[in-house]
Chains A and B, each alone.
Chain A
Amino acid sequence: MSSTTDPAAAASGQRTAAETQAIVERSLRRRYRAEKRFQAYGIAAVLAGVLFVVFLFGSIFSQGASVFRQSYLRLQVFYDPAVIDPAGTRLADDLATADYQALVRESLRKRFPDVEGRAALRKLYAVASGAAAVELQQRVAADPTLIGRSERVWVLADDAVDMLLKGETRRDSAEEERRLTDEQVAWIDALAADGSLALRFNRAFFGNGDSRDPEQAGVRGALFGSFLTLLITLLLSFPIGVAAAVYLEEFAPRNRLTDVIEVNINNLAAVPSIVFGLLGLAVFIAYFGLPRSAPLVGGLVLTLLTLPTIIIASRAALKAVPPSIREAAFGMGASRLQTVAHHVLPLAMPGMLTGAIIGMARALGESAPLLMIGMVAFIVDVPKGVLDPSTALPVQVFLWSDLPERGFVERTSGAIIVLLLFLLVMNATAVVLRNRFEKRW
């Protein structure tokens, strides 16, 4: 900027000092406005990001928090020997195949003696879940002496009842728009009034496998599937990842081959996860003939998927160990392998573990490759081994999110909450590990 008292400028008639002053001030105002605007964009962007976080978690938690409590129905059940075991054999097979549904129906009939007619009774029976009979059967199997006695039992109520109790189904809506008739609502109110119908801790959600009935569907099968899959992943990817990192960082000569390996690892880290699923399908299932839907195959695919993450994290941890440690070990006459095994690895271990946990957290949330290898089937049983068909927690979320019943929206959100809790614990462990054991040299 030229000086405002420059006589040459004044003489040439370009601008007077006052004019220049005005121009500068105008431009300054403009520039400060631009500054303010720019800063406002920044704040708006940050707020938008934070808002998205709040909105995402708020929507999940508001929809899923109710899943931890479920409507249970208290029934006075008479374990009628004539129904359960008419022949009096007390054999486990006979007890298992008896018509427990009849006991549930009988109990409901006694509770509402004035309900008559087939249609009305069927509506009354619909208040209890199909799981009620299973519950009674399990109780009898555990304790056959119950037969012939009477007992008060809490059994699952139907999901339509549950939705009404949780306020998801509006009472004031027209009768045709809800799944319950006015008659049923009246019974439900009567049951709730004397405490026979209440929201209690949802055992079924944590104790059951998948089911077509929302009130019976649980995450146990998916949790076990995820656990087995991650176990395989951890057992394979951590040792292999650490070994690869150690080789590349401590042993590898600089040549074409190691360059290729390095470029490869970086590229693999950016390959879409679904492509790994294609690999798993073509190689592990079609070529090697491993069973579909098995946690073993899921674990193998996720191993390949997480390896680059673990290798990159482990290399960073090895790089952070100062060369003086290695030189001291060499100076004492240790071989290269002894140096690494006795001195470098223990110091790098916290960093490697952190990387492994983060890799595992990523693997836990991964679902696309698991879809490819068939871990999306409807599986009721909890898997017992790595070759049993099973599903995984994020895949369970995907499966439930497709179902139309209102009860499944709640289940899906609940499964997401469980998934997020696991991720939170894993990431928190990684952070704690890093903060406690990370050394600054």
Chain B
Amino acid sequence: MTPSLLLVVVVAMSVVAFWVGKGRSIAIVGGTRGIRQLHSLPGHYGLLTALWCGLPALLVIGLWLAFQDGLLLRLVSSHLPPEIRALPAAEFGLFVNDVRNVIAGNLPPAQVSPATAAAAAEYLELRRVARLALTGLVLAMGVVAALVVRGRIHPELRARNSVEIILEGLLFLCSLIAVLTTVGIILSVVFEASRFFGVVPVGEFLFGTRWSPQMAIRADQVGSSGAFGAVPLFAGTLLISAVAMVVAVPVGLFSAIYLAEYAPQRVRRLVKPLLEVLAGVPTVVYGFFAVVTVGPALRAWGEALGLDVAGESALAAGLVMGIMIIPFVSSLADDMITAVPQSLRDGAYALGATRSETIKQVVLRAALPGIVGGVLLAISRAIGETMIVVMAAGLAANLTANPLEAVTTVTVQIVTLLVGDQEFDSPKTLAAFALGLVLFVATLVLNVVALYVVRRYREQYD
């Protein structure tokens, strides 16, 4: 049986177990009239039976699905002829890739070498046997568990309490997934990055000023040793983020101030959602906008002014990224400004301050921690933004502070290094994980600092 069919069978088995358990509990007290003698409702007995029948089986299937492929491949490769096992890692990877393609049916076995075909056939045979064993194990487990629980049903069995403990455990496991995700991110990124740092020293990566990850398809190829100094990428990222902030912070902040303090209700109700539309637009749309509209327009204006604007200038990417971040800044600032109590404003007015003086000297100061936190979050958003820069920024790593030139960013390089069919183990792809690690750490630090600023300096008014 295929695993997906097995899943359906297990679910069906659990449904049957539910009715068996429920019926048994009713029968044991002599029909529906005796239900009052039961500790729990009949449904709870049914649920208990179903959970015991289904959960362990599902767990086994899940483990199997997660580890079958690695396990079977290892078994198959341990049976391979010695000359193939002696292949260098890269060529062995290609061999395994071919085997996989045959297994998936993308390559007819007739088109590959006999060793590949044999390995694929062995894999399929092993999988067939393993699936049979899995089916037998899962069905047996389910039936036995259901029967055992059924046998233990009696009026004093605290079925509801047991069911609730199990379900609460399941809920807890679901909430753990967020932690597992973080652990997964850290482990995968750190692990691959550490392999990269085994080839390229950390210092060279963090402080080197030349970035040219060469296309190294074979290890013995000329020019396969690229330069992995990431400073130009960091500088490019910061340059584009800075341009974005120059656009987003004033526009976002001032529109929040205007909408919160000056605008009549009618205008606010109309304009606020309109600005928030910008937050819902997919970033790929901004990228297209930057490439097709903003980039050429800036170039034309630059020519008119006698400036040389690159086609993929940092200015275009930053400008459009700034537009994307406007609603982020403005809605955060809006929240912070409206959270400042009216009594503070009234106090300022009573001292004779004008509205703008009140805003500048009272409201903004009270809201400052929140606004600073918001801007930090916006910066972290700008650093991690991918699609706009992939489409609108350059690929060449220039170390420059001139926003009219093309620069590249960390995210652009991650995408260019990883998109396409590459060897998973080359320094080139591993470099992407090292960049990912830097990105993850940078955004994490910004977020933590932002939250700290907000918490530490927030005034409590109530």
Residues of A bordering B, CB below 8 Å: 31-32, 34-35, 37-39, 41-46, 48-50, 52-53, 55-56, 59-60, 63, 239-241, 243-244, 246-248, 251-252, 260-261, 264-268, 270-276, 278-279, 281-283, 286-289, 291, 304, 307-308, 311, 335-337, 361, 364-368, 371-372, 374, 376, 394-395, 397-398, 401-402, 409, 412-413, 416, 419-420, 423, 427
Q: Taking CB as reference atom, which chain B residue is nearest A311?
A: B178
A371 to B387, CA, bound (A): 10
| Given A278-B414, A336-B164: A398 in contact with B287 (beta carbons within 8 A) | yes
Q: Mark B123-152, 1 if CB is under 8 A from A, else 0.
A: 000000000000000000000000000000
Contact partner of A397 (CB less than 8 A), chosen from B261, B285, B327, B447, is B285
Give A417 Cβ to nearest chain B Cβ, in Å. Answer: 10
Q: Taking CB as reference atom, which chain B residue is nearest A424?
A: B280
- Does chain A have a CB within 8 A of B160? yes
For the complex of A and B, list the 8 residue pairs with the smallest distance between their C-beta atoms, beginning with the closest.
A272-B384, A42-B258, A365-B282, A45-B254, A282-B188, A289-B69, A38-B356, A243-B174
A247 proximity list for chain B (CB < 8 A): 168, 171-172, 174-175
Contact partner of B418 (CB less than 8 A), chosen from A52, A260, A281, is A281
- Does chain A have a CB within 8 A of B354? yes
Q: Are B171 and A335 in contact (CB under 8 A)?
A: no
B291 proximity list for chain A (CB < 8 A): 401
Contact partner of A274 (CB less than 8 A), chosen from B261, B281, B386, is B386
List residues of B (410-443) whose CB comes within 8 Å of A's CBs. 411, 414-415, 418-419, 421, 424, 432-433, 436, 439-440, 443
| Given A282-B189, A427-B280: A52 in contact with B326 (beta carbons within 8 A) | yes
Q: Taking CB as reference atom, which chain A residue is nearest B386?
A: A368
B188 proximity list for chain A (CB < 8 A): 278-279, 282-283, 287
- Does chain A have a CB within 8 A of B107? no
A304 proximity list for chain B (CB < 8 A): 177, 181
| Given A278-B432, A416-B288: A308 in contact with B255 (beta carbons within 8 A) | no
B66 proximity list for chain A (CB < 8 A): 288
Q: Mark B277-314, 1 if CB is under 8 A from A, else 0.
A: 11011111111110111000000000000000000000
Q: Are A267 and B277 in contact (CB under 8 A)?
A: no
Contact partner of B168 (CB less than 8 A), chosen from A251, A271, A412, is A251
Q: Are B254 and A44 in contact (CB under 8 A)?
A: yes
Q: Given A272-B385, A361-B280, 19 other A-B contacts at CB below 8 A?
A: A41-B258, A42-B257, A45-B251, A49-B326, A53-B277, A243-B175, A252-B172, A261-B176, A265-B178, A274-B384, A274-B436, A275-B384, A289-B70, A304-B177, A368-B283, A397-B285, A401-B391, A416-B284, A416-B285
Give B7 Cβ to nearest chain A Cβ, in Å. Answer: 13
A31 proximity list for chain B (CB < 8 A): 354, 357
- Does chain A have a CB within 8 A of B372? no
- Does chain A have a CB within 8 A of B396? no
- Does chain A have a CB within 8 A of B179? yes
Give B8 Cβ to nearest chain A Cβ, in Å. Answer: 15
A427 to B432, CA, bound (A): 35
Q: Are A49 and B185 in contact (CB under 8 A)?
A: no
A52 to B323, CA, bound (A): 7
Q: Are B73 and A274 in contact (CB under 8 A)?
A: no
- Does chain A have a CB within 8 A of B271? yes
B261 proximity list for chain A (CB < 8 A): 42
A59 to B286, CA, bound (A): 11
Q: Are A367 and B289 in contact (CB under 8 A)?
A: no
Contact partner of A39 (CB less than 8 A), chosen from B179, B251, B262, B414, is B262
A331 to B263, CA, bound (A): 49
Give A439 Cβ to nearest chain B Cβ, in Å. Answer: 22
- Does chain A have a CB within 8 A of B377? yes
List residues of B (258-280) whose CB comes within 8 Å of A's CBs. 258-259, 261-263, 271, 274-275, 277-278, 280
A35 to B355, CA, bound (A): 7
Residues of B bordering A, CB below 8 Å: 66, 69-70, 73, 100, 104, 160, 163-164, 167-168, 170-172, 174-179, 181-182, 184-185, 188-189, 191-192, 250-255, 257-259, 261-263, 271, 274-275, 277-278, 280-289, 291-293, 323, 326-327, 330, 354-357, 359-360, 377, 380-381, 383-387, 390-391, 411, 414-415, 418-419, 421, 424, 432-433, 436, 439-440, 443-444, 447-448, 451
Q: Are B387 and A240 in contact (CB under 8 A)?
A: no
Q: Taking CB as reference atom, which chain A residue is nearest B181?
A: A304
Give A399 Cβ to nearest chain B Cβ, in Å. Answer: 10
Q: Are B354 and A244 in contact (CB under 8 A)?
A: no
B271 proximity list for chain A (CB < 8 A): 46, 49-50
Give B387 Cβ to nearest chain A Cβ, in Å. Answer: 6
Q: Are B293 and A59 in contact (CB under 8 A)?
A: yes
A279 to B414, CA, bound (A): 13
Q: Taking CB as reference atom, which chain B residue is nearest A341?
A: B167
Q: Are A45 and B356 in contact (CB under 8 A)?
A: no
Q: Are B284 and A398 in contact (CB under 8 A)?
A: yes
Q: Are B411 and A376 in contact (CB under 8 A)?
A: no
Q: Are B359 and A272 in contact (CB under 8 A)?
A: no
| Given A243-B175, A244-B174, A247-B175: A289 in contact with B185 (beta carbons within 8 A) | no
Contact partner of B178 (CB less than 8 A), chosen from A32, A261, A291, A371, is A261
Q: Are A267 and B175 in contact (CB under 8 A)?
A: no
| Given A32-B354, A38-B359, A271-B444: A244 in contact with B178 (beta carbons within 8 A) | yes
B354 proximity list for chain A (CB < 8 A): 31-32, 34-35
Give B341 Cβ to nearest chain A Cβ, in Å. Answer: 21
Q: Are A45 and B255 in contact (CB under 8 A)?
A: yes
A63 to B285, CA, bound (A): 13
Q: Taking CB as reference atom, which chain A residue is nearest B447?
A: A270
| Given A56-B323, A368-B415: A279 in contact with B185 (beta carbons within 8 A) | yes
B432 proximity list for chain A (CB < 8 A): 278
12 contacts between A and B (CB under 8 A): A35-B354, A35-B355, A46-B254, A56-B289, A60-B289, A63-B292, A251-B168, A261-B175, A267-B447, A272-B411, A275-B436, A374-B419
A419 to B227, CA, bound (A): 40
Give B436 Cβ to nearest chain A Cβ, in Å. Answer: 4
Q: Are B181 and A274 in contact (CB under 8 A)?
A: no
B176 proximity list for chain A (CB < 8 A): 261
Give B23 Cβ to nearest chain A Cβ, in Å. Answer: 22
A271 to B377, CA, bound (A): 11
Q: Are A52 and B278 in contact (CB under 8 A)?
A: yes
Give A400 Cβ to nearest chain B Cβ, in Å. Answer: 9
Give A144 Cβ to nearest chain B Cβ, in Å. Answer: 31
B179 proximity list for chain A (CB < 8 A): 260-261, 264
A419 proximity list for chain B (CB < 8 A): 282, 285
Q: Are B251 and A48 in contact (CB under 8 A)?
A: yes
B255 proximity list for chain A (CB < 8 A): 42, 45-46, 48-49
| Given A46-B271, A260-B179: A243 in contact with B170 (beta carbons within 8 A) | yes
Q: Are B192 and A282 in contact (CB under 8 A)?
A: yes
Contact partner of A275 (CB less than 8 A), chosen from B189, B262, B424, is B189
Q: Are B274 and A50 in contact (CB under 8 A)?
A: yes
Q: Are B258 and A45 in contact (CB under 8 A)?
A: yes
A175 to B436, CA, bound (A): 50
B451 proximity list for chain A (CB < 8 A): 266
A59 to B424, CA, bound (A): 40
Q: Are A248 and B175 in contact (CB under 8 A)?
A: yes
A274 to B327, CA, bound (A): 21
Contact partner of B258 (CB less than 8 A), chosen from A43, A60, A272, is A43
Q: Are A371 and B419 in contact (CB under 8 A)?
A: yes
Give B364 Cβ to nearest chain A Cβ, in Å. Answer: 11
Q: Are A337 and B377 in contact (CB under 8 A)?
A: no
B171 proximity list for chain A (CB < 8 A): 243-244, 246-247, 251
A41 to B359, CA, bound (A): 13
Contact partner of A49 (CB less than 8 A), chosen from B69, B275, B355, B390, is B275
